[in-house]
Amino acid sequence: MNWLQKWLVMTRAPVLIMTICAALVGVVLALGQDSFYLDRLIALLTGLTFAHATNNLVNDWVDHRQGVDHDNYFRRQYGVHVLEDRLVSEGLFLAVTVMTGMVAILCAFYLYQVAGEAVLYLTIAGSFFVLFYTWPLKHYGLGELAVLLVWGPMIVCGACFVMGAGVTGIVALIALLSGISPTLVIFGKHMDKRNQDAAKAIHTLPVIAGALRSRQICLGLMALQWAMLLLLVIDGNPWLLVCLASTPALFTLCRSLMDEAPKSRPDNYPADIWPIWYAAMSFRYTRDFYLALLVGLAVALASGSF
């Protein structure tokens, strides 16, 4: 592999799409207020993507150093862990982590220069979650809340602000319902490895709440998300009905949450993603929901409905 391919593997690139989509939601909401800057858009998307990538690298390094990912831990069953599999040295891994983080910081500095002091506070808050999500937040049941705050208000409202627009009530509400989708993904991942985390004294929310209550919380989050969507539609935003396109993935996720995950891989289930179960279905729903939401926003923008 070339260096780009190696970096994509190290940073678990497929999940970075959630950050890009969340940022684009904020950008399109800013466009609805007739506010757009191409230079800010490039810096915003680059900075947030590299910040998420840095978080993934820090996550793997911390878990490696603490011995969490040793042996046949869940993380090694569904994907390459370059440190545990000894594909790169720890020194090189740390160098890549620092360089990735520096790209994010440089983008934040540029946005600070052009968008104002508030970017500094957003960067400080974001850096806190990047560095301390894995420990101590994830270990003490705060990882799920952190994801909701970051992919909801921080990224969506922050992107809208950076693009020069105001954070209105509708922006804040869309940011919150948008942030629920990535929260479902991290909830699903932690439910998938609940038993292994419990054995290693990693007290994620599913470990604290238990299997049944965790599934109920996820169903409640989806009900809240669609209740907010309905509220926005009734309030004069019919373009959000485009989100109905994500209901097939929604129903699949809901059905999976009705029961415990299977103990062994079903015959018709892809071998390359097993033992991921709830997380896979949550990610599929999140991807479809984000794309539908962005299409709806684009339709509203084109029709002048903002």
Q: Is the pLDDT of residue 85 over 90?
A: no
Per the CB < 8 A criterion, the answer to whether 183 and 148 are in contact is yes
Average pLDDT over residues 207-215: 96
Q: Is the pLDDT of residue 68 over 90?
A: no
pTM of the model: 0.93
Tokens of 222: 């989806």
The fraction of the chain above a pLDDT of 90, given in percent, is 76
Query: For residue 80, what pLDDT is reported?
Result: 77
- Give the separation between CA 249 and CA 243, rounded to whole angstroms: 11
Q: How confident is the model at residue 155 (pLDDT cuts 50, 70, 90)?
A: very high
CA gyration radius for the chain? 19
Query: What single-letter amino acid sits at 24?
Result: L
Q: How confident is the model at residue 73 (pLDDT cuts 50, 70, 90)?
A: low
Over the stretch 90-106, which tens digit does the pLDDT of each residue have? 999 999 999 999 999 99
Identify the residue with better confidence: 145 or 87: 145
Q: How confident is the model at residue 241 (pLDDT cuts 50, 70, 90)?
A: very high
Query: For residue 72, what pLDDT is reported?
Result: 58
- DSSP 8-state code for residue 98: H
Q: How confident is the model at residue 254 (pLDDT cuts 50, 70, 90)?
A: very high
- Give the separation between CA 135 and CA 20, rounded to whole angstroms: 24
Average pLDDT over residues 246-255: 96
The lowest-confidence range among 41-45, 55-59, 81-85 is 81-85
Q: How confident is the model at residue 180 (pLDDT cuts 50, 70, 90)?
A: very high
Residues near 270 by Cβ (< 8 Å), separated by ≥ 6? none
Residue 230 has, within 13 A of its CA and on its CB side, a CA count of 6
What are the residue ranges spanned by the domains of the chain?
3-303
Query: For residue 74, what pLDDT is reported?
Result: 67
Q: Is the pLDDT of residue 304 over 80?
A: no
- To the nearest 10°, the Cα dihedral for 120, 187, 256, 213? -130
